[in-house]
Amino acid sequence: MGEKTADRRTRKTRKAIFDAFAELLSEKELEKITVKELIDKADVSRVTFYNHYLDIYDLHDKFEESTMLEIASLVLELDTLSYKDFFTRLIGYVSENRSAFRMIFSPHSTNKMRFRLEDILEGLLLQLYLEVNEDAVQTEEIGYMIYYRAQGMISVIQKWVREEFRTTEENIIRLMTVLDGRTEEYFTSWMNKRK
């Protein structure tokens, strides 16, 4: 039982540090964040911080890696879902991790996480397209269509985050389902006419 309690405490401490870090990074550039202000915001000791991280840059790298692994795992689960279920899970995840997404889309962000998010979504969309269209060969047009769809999804999420989640999850899910569905329908129709 002591080990489970320690694990729970460690997860809680890391979450407090990550949330405080995400909040600070949404307000200022990485280089301007100090360990002192971070530990004050997270309400942890300096020793606790250094037990987990070497410095702010190490925290940033670990935060980025952890967030991207979670997103990649989520995206892998999504490839068997309908569009509505896909967007429901994706938007639910964004909503549950608001601090992380505020950081990802912050003007103070390094944009590395956004670029990785783009790559993950593009990879999934391409894989899904090629699975559904078994005779399709990856072409330049398909690459642009996939890029367009991924950027559209990310732009809607970014707008939602930057507007402090003002629109309801249900409205964002409906909007993304309709927009992306119509984009795919149009592109599929256009590709079929070219054959």
190 CB neighbour count, 10 Å cutoff: 11
What digits encode the pLDDT tens for the residues 67-78?
888 887 877 776
Give the mean pLDDT of the chain: 85
Measured CA angle at 65 (ends 64, 66), to 5 deg: 95
pLDDT digits (tens, 9 = 90+) for 52-95: 999 999 998 888 888 888 887 877 776 677 778 888 988 999 99
Q: How far apart are the first and last CA of the chain?
A: 64
| Helix or strand holding residue 43 (H, E) | none
Token readout for 103 is 């950081």
pTM above threshold 0.85: no
Q: 9-33, pLDDT tens digit by residue?
A: 888 898 899 889 988 887 888 889 9
Distance of CA 71 to the CA centre of its chain: 6
Sorted by where each starts, the structural domains of the chain and their CATH numbers stand as: 2-194 (1.10.357.10)
